[in-house]
Structure 1
Amino acid sequence: MTEPAVESDTRPWEELLKLARQGDESELSDYLASLPPTDQAFAFAHLDDEDAELIVNTLSVSHAAELLSRLSEAQAAGLVGTLSPQLAAAIVHELPSDEQADVLGELADDQVGAILDQLPEDEATDLREFIAYNDEVAGGLMNRELIRIPLNETIGGVIRIIESALERLTEGDVRYGYVVDDSDRLVGVLPMQNLLFSKRSTAVGDVMIREPMTVHDQTPLDDLIDVFDSYNFLGIPVVDADQKLVGVVLRQSVDYAAGQAAESDYLKSQGIVGGEELRTMPLWLRSRRRLSWLSVNILLNVGAASVVAFFQDTLQSVIALAVFLPIISDMSGCSGNQAVAVSMRELSLGLLRPTEVLRVWIQELGVGLINGAVLGLLVAIAALLYNGNGYLGLVVGTALFANTIVAVSIGGTVPLIVKRFGFDPAIASGPLLTTITDMCGFFLVLGIASQMIDKLTQ
């Protein structure tokens, strides 16, 4: 059958709905297959729950699982959440184990329970254990689709194991078999290429790699990144506290998780608390996630406003100061955010420890002195051109110079201090930086101006 052409200016969700209403699964799946993954995600972002459910119900279970694999975790979970537990379970059953956990991990506990109740008991038990892992440890990132080989097996037996598992392993990049003893403890790794150069009667123990490198199921993402940066492995076996083999974590999974973590940190720094947000999510959920940060931030900003209120007489006497207050605040905030970004990046790469506050402050101090001097001079010149009063330029220039030093000092060190006390620096650093730099900036401008009020009002 010829695949339908997809024009860049079409509205693919309308075509999907038309085919779904016709009930033609073949045409619908062919059209979906013709769409790039980005267009599939784009199309489903324009569908309401009822229409999305209609499309999924029209697809076969296997084609619905392929669709979920191409959507983001949040989008896939939102779609699964609209389905009956029976259909959702059938689709989840078709997904690789790591994708099963990703999708179910985004759902409410009652939805997860209803879906697991529809799955085979052994699969549901495995999934419950899988979901219990944190998303940013080896257990939460690992894949359970692997070739598990008994220690007493022969090469011929391994070939039969692989043949029986071909359908289950088609999506994976399988280059190793993992050899376990009677207690399911990992004892060796068998490169698949060894099967080509060994007799079928050869014992696995004679050709396997003994004492392979492993990671614990609670190994954090940062440590996994370090391991894969240090070793050219495609995957590393994951063991539990009893050294039992529980899965394999792939390089591509760690790379993806690292990117997701960086994106999550960015969202948190912008006040989107609670993970990925899509506009197809429930309105109250999206509002609550944003308000959790904004409501705290408004209280912090009252402190900055109180500084202005304290110096209101000075501000009324030299109204030109009001023009430069937002400039001082914004430029200092930008300088501080640059320092925050560098510290967050170095923390995520393991180049920095939370205890190195003094070293970071000294390094940022040099940057602050240079940048503060340049920025202070520029704003002083702008003030002179605007007002013609050199003392106004001196006030705002000195204030910006000093506040830039304050901003980079706070921006560079606050993430380390917050991290050391066990809080999330991505959430806390932004509000603290903004509030302190605003307060200091306003205080410096208005405080210095109060001491020079006679010169400024001439």
Structure 2
Amino acid sequence: MPDQPTTTEDLAREAATGREDRPWEELLRLADDGRPQSLPEFLDELSTADQALALSRLDDRQRQQMLAALPAETAAEWIQSLTEAQAADVISLLQADTAAAIVHELPSDEQADVLGDLPTAQAEAILDALPREEADAVRELTSFADDVAGGLMIREFLKFSDQMTVAQVIEQLLANEAEYSDLDVWYGYVCDADERLIGVLPMRNLLFVKRSARVRDIMISNPLSVTETMPLDDLVEFFDSHAFLGVPVVDAEGILKGIVHREAVDHETVRAAESDYLKSQGIVGGEELRTMPVWLRARRRLSWLSINVLLNIGAAAVIAVFQDTLQAVIALAVFLPIISDMSGCSGNQAVAVSMRELSLGLIRPTEMLRVWWQEVSVGLINGAALGVLVALVAVLFKGNGYLGLVVGVALFVNTIIAVSIGGTVPLLLKRLGFDPAVASGPLLTTVTDMCGFFLVLGLATMMLSKLL
């Protein structure tokens, strides 16, 4: 029989352990017992993962209750620990003025991400409750796609005139100490009278010059910058080539619009990879969390599964055509799923490489012939090795060399077909304007199944007398 707690200290320790395992219960208790001022302190003790876990376990009413009990600044910090889908879901539960107070505390790029995921009417209601200048800036950011510089940039940065003196810069920094302290700034950006970017000012340069010196004399002239429309792939390449923590973003006229941080580019790259993975597994329509409505999750999955059913009917039709051969040599049924699965694995490897190289800009959709030859070279080697291995298994299983020949040749040929499709179909779909992450998987699975079944049963039919 397990030991039972016998002292007050034991009971307190057990209760504390329970709160650590189920932090949402402690959050609700603090909100319910009239001590909401204790919530920020308790949240600070939780890791980012535990904060997200706690929120995911609360229902809509409880989330409203929690956010209403928190100061706007603390609520904003909590929301920043969530995924974009979770953050938008939480904000959507609140009244426009309450939501606006929280959104006001978020960095500009996260403001755009959260409001961009809300219905237009609800987002506009929140924007109307924000200061006009701030709302206009958020509207501008939400007009950009998430995977371009304009959609990744932040609007919080230090900007100085080239006519300012060092003394004026220091005075400005001191006057806005509370605002600038959250920016973690290493550089300021220098603009001319027309707001065009003309220089970068390292903060350390202010320490070693006379207070009367002009900013234009100590700045780094002709700084590198990126345009608002630069895509994510080009941003990744830029940061790979330059050891910068951030880069200024300018419009077509060279006017400074914001700053893209390396961290934001890395985050979006990971998010895009996760999205492609979900799409390849049939989770379409955006990010899915188990806190989302059941019908929404079911509909998103079913849209892909229903198409896959129709595609697999074609593979089943091949078996139906050769059902007499399959009935005569029932041992073939043992090897059909092996050949289908192994060929599919080889094809998926090729898909993964093509998707990766497309995302990095290492190949272009027009290079299908080069990619095909590179995949066939690998397919010949792997197909031969796998074919011989399966053939040996077939011989040992039934003691029939012809059965080994049938399944070995079928796997060899189907592996070449699979890597050819896996390597080139993502490029073809990209060239035609379709999403390769969604369509490559179903096409590969269906074609490799059909070809594999046809090869095995077709070869078996030709050699039926040798297999009986």
The answer to whether the superposition gives a TM-score over 0.5 is yes
How far apart are the structure 1 equivalents of 2:315 and 2:177? 64
Q: Does 1:31 align with 2:42?
A: yes
Contiguous gaps of at least 5 residues in structure 1: none
Residue 6 (structure 2) aligns with: none
Alignment match of 1:329 (pick from 340, 362, 372): 340
Is contact 2:88–2:118 with CA below 8 Å preserved after alignment?
yes
Q: 1:5 to 1:171 in 2, by over 3 A?
A: farther
Taking only aligned residues, the RMSD between alpha carbons, in angstroms, comes to: 1.6
Q: Secondary structure at the match of 2:147?
A: coil
Q: Does 1:442 align with 2:453?
A: yes
Residue 342 (structure 1) aligns with: 353
Deviates more, 1:215-224 or 1:275-284: 275-284
How far apart are the structure 2 equivalents of 1:49 and 1:8? 21
Residue 16 (structure 1) aligns with: 27
Query: What displacement does 1:6 show?
Result: 6.5
Q: Deviations over 1:110-163 (max 9, x none)?
A: 221121121111111111111111000001111110011122211112122222
Alignment match of 2:207 (pick from 150, 174, 196): 196
Residue 362 (structure 1) aligns with: 373
Q: Secondary structure at the match of 2:80?
A: helix
Alignment match of 1:413 (pick from 408, 414, 424): 424
Residue 119 (structure 2) aligns with: 108
Residue 319 (structure 1) aligns with: 330
Is contact 2:166–2:210 with CA below 8 Å preserved after alignment?
yes
How far apart are the structure 2 equivalents of 1:9 and 1:91? 27
How far apart are the structure 2 equivalents of 1:448 and 1:307? 13
Residue 386 (structure 2) aligns with: 375
How many percent identity over aligned positions? 63
Contiguous gaps of at least 5 residues in structure 2: 1-14
Q: Does 1:93 align with 2:113?
A: no
Residue 170 (structure 2) aligns with: 159
Query: What displacement does 1:384 show?
Result: 2.0
How far apart are the structure 2 equivalents of 1:57 and 1:248? 33
How far apart are the structure 2 equivalents of 1:103 and 1:26? 26
Q: Does 1:275 align with 2:247?
A: no
Residue 41 (structure 1) aligns with: 52
Residue 304 (structure 1) aligns with: 315
Q: Deviations over 1:391-424 (max 9, x none)?
A: 2221111101110011111111111111122222
Alignment match of 1:394 (pick from 391, 399, 405): 405
Is contact 2:246–2:261 with CA below 8 Å preserved after alignment?
yes
Query: What displacement does 1:350 show?
Result: 2.0
Residue 177 (structure 1) aligns with: 188
Given residue 310 of structure 1, which amino acid in structure 2 is its aligned partner? V
Pairs aligned (count): 454
Deviates more, 1:225-234 or 1:143-152: 143-152
Given residue 15 of structure 1, which amino acid in structure 2 is its aligned partner? E
Instruction: With the length of structure 1 as denominator, give the TM-score of the two structures.
Output: 0.96
Query: What displacement does 1:9 show?
Result: 5.6
Q: 1:313 to 1:164 in 2, by over 3 A?
A: farther
Is contact 1:145–1:168 with CA below 8 Å preserved after alignment?
no
Residue 245 (structure 1) aligns with: 256
Could you list the structure 1 runs, at least 4 aligned residues long, displaced by more than 4 angstroms after superposition. Answer: 4-9
Given residue 374 of structure 2, which amino acid in structure 1 is its aligned partner? Q
Q: Does 1:54 align with 2:65?
A: yes
Given residue 186 of structure 2, which amino acid in structure 1 is its aligned partner? R
Alignment match of 2:231 (pick from 200, 220, 223): 220
Given residue 117 of structure 2, which amino acid in structure 1 is its aligned partner? E
Deviates more, 1:317-326 or 1:217-226: 317-326
